[in-house]
């Protein structure tokens, strides 16, 4: 089931147009029209791309009158990031540090965005 989600995330990110949409949304939320504007492509096409990103869980949409502001979701990024990180390290033959690095990823994910001083003590849980 994670497998299915991974497939959708990677497939969604395999398209350059969709990666540009992600990059734009990383700056801040935007409506479909705003997102479509820079592209030489119909609004419908962009809407379809957003649906793919949405199905992958990378993007969510609110409802604001006629508008549907899009928002980047971080959760599935974690999933893909961890998968990649695991095999990146193994490909380097340095999987001995895997546990520590994955723990750090989790730490970065779970910790509230309060201080930047979470690096030296770091709760072990």
Binding site for a copy of itself (CB under 8 A): 3, 6-8, 10-11, 13-16, 19, 22-23, 26-27, 72-74, 77-78, 80-81, 83-97, 100-101, 108-109, 113, 116, 119-120, 122
Q: 2-6, long-range: CB within 8 Å, 24+ apart, which pairs?
A: 2/79, 5/56, 5/57, 5/76, 5/79, 6/79, 6/80, 6/83
Is 72 among the residues that bind DNA (CB under 7 A)? no
Is 60 among the residues that bind DNA (CB under 7 A)? no
Q: Are 98 and 86 in contact (CB under 8 A)?
A: yes
Query: Phi, psi at residue 60, to the nearest 5°?
Result: -120, 160
Return the number of the residue (68 or 82) whose C-beta is nearest DNA.
Answer: 68
- Judged by CB under 7 A, which stretch of 67-75, 87-95, 100-108, 116-124 contacts DNA? 67-75
Is 28 among the residues that bind DNA (CB under 7 A)? no
């Amino acid at each position: 089931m994670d497998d299915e989600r991974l497939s959708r995330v990677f497939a969604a990110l395999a398209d350059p147009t969709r990666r540009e949409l992600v990059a734009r949304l990383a700056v801040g939320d935007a409506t479909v029209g705003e997102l479509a504007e820079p592209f030489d492509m119909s609004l419908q096409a962009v809407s379809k791309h957003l649906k793919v990103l949405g199905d992958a869980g990378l993007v969510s949409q609110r409802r604001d009158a006629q508008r549907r502001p899009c928002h980047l979701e971080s959760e599935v990024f974690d999933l893909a990031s961890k998968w990649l990180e695991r095999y990146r390290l193994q490909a380097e033959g340095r999987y001995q540090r895997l546990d520590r690095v994955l723990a750090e990823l989790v730490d970065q994910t779970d910790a509230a965005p309060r201080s930047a001083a979470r690096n030296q003590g770091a709760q072990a849980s």
